[in-house]
Structure 1
Amino acid sequence: MALYLTEDEIRQVLTLQDALVAVEDAHRWHATGEAIDTPRARSRTPTSALHILHGAVLPIGVMGYKSYTTSREGARFWVHLFDVANGRPLAVLEADYLGMMRTGATGGLAARVLSREDARAAVVFGAGWQARSQIEALCAVRNIERIEVVARKRDKLEAFCAEQSQRLGRDIVPADDIESAVRSADVVVTITTATDPLFDGRWLGEGTHVTAAGSNALIRREIDEATIRRAAVIAVDARATALRESGDLLPALEKGRLNEYGMTELGELLVGMRPGRRGAADITLFESQGMAIQDLVLAARVVDKARTAGLGRDLPY
């Protein structure tokens, strides 16, 4: 029988380590051709929108899709899993927390692959739901000692920093001066809904790694063209997805300042197909739009753990 898992049940079994392992597996299998990923499609109405990403992961025998709706009421997320061998349904998962964890883990994986091993200071733009896992994953892969956070609402920002400092045992504080924070950072993370660049790429110091995780639509931009020009490595989840919806990269692509194969897929870095950071002075950039296979691999892992724990309920099909 197919299993249904709620947000609460998923929280009981899903860990950051699960997410880190799952997204690495997904990207490795994508690079070797063992995972198929189809970029996001959207259906829009005057009051809401439906977004769907789908794919298949042959090594674990699953295919499926992530769907979510957005409206003024908010967003709602699900992942549906099917058996590759016969198409039978395996599971349906409520996927808000799952998606948040896989997005953060992907940023953490990119930082592990591309940032300097001695990175100690970071700046994070954004203090929302998604910023939580970005910070946690970054701290899991690098010995980050201090994180400065930038957000528009001061009271929300201070509460967020206090909560994350207590939760992770790190020095996480509001950024008083954005330029100073960026200039002193070894890692810069953006996870916002911004429509204009959040900082001047000329502020980046040598050796800085940037993860830009919020721009998954043409109207969104978090980084400027100076950041792109200065980057020795520009990595993406998947070129096909970046070409469709990276609001950060598309202006440079349209002007001929970047081409398709100037973008390296994260999986290609993991399996050694293409080079990453060559030296301590390199500035590196990871543009994350998200892939169905990240959700599918993590969802399959969660389903296995939930069955072992006796969680979930059978669906009548």
Structure 2
Amino acid sequence: MALFLSENDVKQLLTVEMALEGVKSAHHDLSMGLAQDTPRVRSRLPQTVLHMLQGALPAQGVLGYKAYTSNRSGNRFLVHLFDAASGRLRAVIEADYLGMMRTGAASGLAARLLARPDASVAGVFGAGWQAEGHVRAICAALPLQLVKVHARKADKLHAFCERMTAQTGVNVVPVASPEALVRGSDLLGTVTTAAQPLFAAEWLESGVHINAAGSNSLIRQELDEATIRRCDLIAVDAVPTALAEAGDLLPLLEKGRLHARQLIELGDILVGRQTGRAAPEQITLFESQGMAIQDLAIALRVLNAAEQQGLGQVLPY
């Protein structure tokens, strides 16, 4: 029996803790050789782009893919989840909210692994849909006391901060400038569609951790070369994905100023194969591109919860 889960179903079921646990399990399985992930591919038309991510989590009993279209009218996301043993379709899940929570959870996991344990002040660039998941995840991952947010639209920014304060219980406040956001922050997040770097490297505090989540193509860049060169450690969700999509890193890789062997996969830090932060003063960076196995792991947990609570519609095939 295959289920269809709508956006409303997913919103009822999916928690930040569930998303964090799902993403953690996906990275663990990948680093232990228990998962397969295929980097995103795209089919482009003048008006619409189809994006596809696929992967397998055999240790968790599933494989599948996320497909989504982007168009001026909006984006549409669907996860197809299959049973790994039988190939049987288990679920089709609308995945806009799921994807937002997944992206945030990846940054939350990276913050747990790489930020200083005493980090209390975060700064986040962006007040859009994806920034919501980011703020919720970092507040769940670390004992933050203050989150500063900067965005271009002041009215949207203030409403975002009020909503995030209510949802997280952490004081989330607007700031007027990029410099005010960066200075004094123990943790930084960039969750934008920027084509130009968002801040100057000299503003960074010693010991800061950066989660860069918005630059997933050559036309997007949130961090400048000076910032990346200040980082003592650069983590990625998967090296093949970073080499294909990390707009912040690709110019340095092309120039030979950064090498693929310098990139560390987040899962390898999680399982202890690679060292994470080695000293409080180090500056660390996580470049997040997104992986199918992250979506699949969260989708599986959402499906299990839906089956327990009797939510969803039975599909006629």
The normalised TM-score by structure 2 is 0.98
Alpha-carbon separation, structure 1, partners of 2:209 and 2:164: 22
* 1:92 paired to 2:92: yes
Matches for 1:123-272 after TM superposition, within 5 Å: 123-272=123-272
Tell me the residue number matched to 1:12: 12
Supply the RMSD in Å over aligned alpha carbons. Answer: 0.8
Measure how far apart 1:162 and its partner are.
1.5
The alignment status of 1:31 with 2:54, answered yes or no, reads no
When structure 1 is superposed on structure 2, of 282-291 and 306-315 the one drifting more is 306-315
Q: Structure 1 residue runs of 4+, over 4 Å off? A: none
Task: Tell me the distance in 2 between the aligned counterparts of 1:283 and 1:35.
Answer: 30
**C-alpha deviation, 1:85, in angstroms:** 1.3
Distance 1:103 1:203 in 2: 26
Q: Pairwise mapping of residues 281-292 of structure 1 onto structure 2 (< 5 A)?
A: 281-292=281-292
Report deviation, 1:86.
2.2
Give the match for residue 60 of structure 2. Answer: 60
Give the % identical residues: 56
2: distance between equivalents of 1:296 and 1:197?
Answer: 32
**CA distance in structure 2 between the partners assigned to 1:248 and 1:272 by the alignment:** 26
Letter in 2 for 1:27: H
Residue-pair matches, total: 317
Distance across 1 between alignment mates of 2:20 and 2:309: 21
The one-letter amino acid paired with 2:316 is P
Counterparts of 2:19 and 2:162 in 1: how far apart (Å)?
A: 25
Q: Secondary structure at the match of 2:183?
A: helix
TM-score with structure 1 setting the length: 0.98
State the 1:27 CA deviation: 0.1
Unaligned stretches of 5+ residues in structure 2: none
Give the aligned residue type for 1:242.
Answer: A
Superposed displacement of residue 42, structure 1: 0.3
Is the 2:124–2:181 contact (alpha carbons within 8 Å) kept by the matching residues of 1? Answer: no
SS of equivalent to 1:184: coil
Q: What's the offset of the Cα at 1:16?
A: 0.7
SS at match of 1:33: coil
Give the drift of 1:276. Answer: 0.7
> 1:46 and 1:219 mapped to 2: Cα distance?
17
Per-residue CA distance 1:189-224 (angstroms, 9 max, x = gap)? 000000111011221110000000011111110111
Contact 2:42 2:52 in 1 (8 A): yes
CA distance in 2, matches of 1:167, 1:205: 28
1:167, distance to aligned residue in structure 2 (A): 2.2
Aligned equivalent of 2:83? 83
